[in-house]
Amino acid sequence: MILPGPNVQIFRDIIEGYFDAYKNKDLDRVLKFFHPDIPVMIWGTGKDECSLTLDQLKDQLERDWKQLDTIDYYINPVACNIGYNMAWSFITCHSIFTIAGEKVEYPLLRVSFVFKQKDSSWYIAHMHWSVTDNQQDDEQSYQRIPLNAASTSMI
């Protein structure tokens, strides 16, 4: 169920706050959005970006920020479901980064979230980022990449 009105606004505020803290490379503020009592689960867009602790997340964020000169996002409307003390949401956003002086644009960056409530506050417990392949055709679920001798493993 996608909830309209003030229920979605709670999560949009968290997401926008997180993105603003990330954009400003504010580590302390970013970490305040994550649940303090349970392990985090974060998938980034890099093939080795998997954080299961706040310390791993700190390392991942610092690596991100070393590679990014500037960060800009436009967040599309938020879709959200709410359970008893958990909520899940996904967004798409248009992102423009400057990396080593070169502008890089991701017109459809996708992020999903799981939120966990503690007392009367909501925190991020899980987040998964994915970047769509701009060269993949519409109505195509998988990009066709020929295998060669160097890439026969899925891992």
What would the pLDDT profile of 50-99 be if each residue is shown by its tens digit?
Answer: 899 999 999 999 999 999 999 999 998 888 888 888 999 989 999 999 99
CB distance 135 to 106 below 8 Å: no
What the block records as the tokens of 155 is 């891992």
Instruction: Give the residues across from 87 on adjacent strands.
Output: 82, 115
Whether the predicted pLDDT of 35 surpasses 80:
yes
Whether the predicted pLDDT of 147 surpasses 80:
no
Whether the predicted pLDDT of 27 surpasses 50:
yes
Confidence band, pLDDT 50/70/90 cuts, at residue 44:
confident
pTM of the model: 0.82
In eight-state DSSP terms, residue 3 is P
Quick one: average pLDDT of 18-41? 94
Kindly report which listed range (15-19, 84-88, 118-122, 144-148) carries the lowest average pLDDT score.
Answer: 144-148
Measured between alpha carbons, how far is 67 from 85 in angstroms, rounded to an integer? 36
Instruction: Give the residues across from 56 on adjacent strands.
Output: none
Provide CATH code, domain 6-133.
3.10.450.50
**Residue for token pair 């970013």:** 30
How many helices and strands in the chain, by DSSP H and E? 3, 7
Measured between alpha carbons, how far is 32 from 144 in angstroms, rounded to an integer? 40
Measured between alpha carbons, how far is 1 from 139 in angstroms, rounded to an integer? 25
List the chain domain ranges. 6-133
